[in-house]
Structure 1
Amino acid sequence: MSTELEQTEIAEPSRWRAFRDAITERPTLNLAYRIVVGVVGLAVLILGIAAIPYPGPGWVIVFAGLGILATEFAWAREALGWLRHRYDKFMAWFAARGLFVQACAAIGTCLIVLATLWLLGTFGMVGGWIGVESKWLLSPLTW
Structure 2
Amino acid sequence: MSSTEERSSSGFQAKLALNPRLRWFYRVGVGIVGTVVLLVGIVLIPYPGPGWLVVFAGLAILATEFAWARRTLSYAKARYDAWTAWLGRQHWAIKLLIVAATGLIVLATLWLLGALALVGGWFGLEWTWLHSPIW
TM above 0.5: yes
1:57 equivalenced with 2:50 (yes/no): yes
Length, aligned pairs only: 133
**Cα shift at 1:64:** 0.2
Q: Segments of 4+ in structure 1 off by > 4 A? A: none
Within-5 A mapping of 1:49-88: 49-88=42-81
- Tell me the TM-score normalised to structure 2 length: 0.91
Question: How far apart in 1 are the matches of 2:109 and 2:131?
Answer: 12
Match of 1:109 in 2: 102
Q: Distance in 2 between matches of 1:130 and 1:46?
A: 32
Q: How many percent of aligned residue pairs carry the same amino acid?
A: 49
| SS of match in other structure, 2:46 | coil
Q: Cα RMSD (Å) of the superposition? A: 1.7
Instruction: Output the CA distance in 1 between the equivalents of 2:65 and 2:126.
Output: 51
Structure 1 residues 22-37: aligned runs within 5 Å: 22-37=15-30
Equivalent of 1:48 in 41, 45, 48: 41
TM-score relative to the length of structure 1: 0.86
Which one has the largest radius of gyration?
Answer: 1
CA shift, 1:84, in A, is 0.8
Offset at residue 13 of structure 1 (A): 4.4
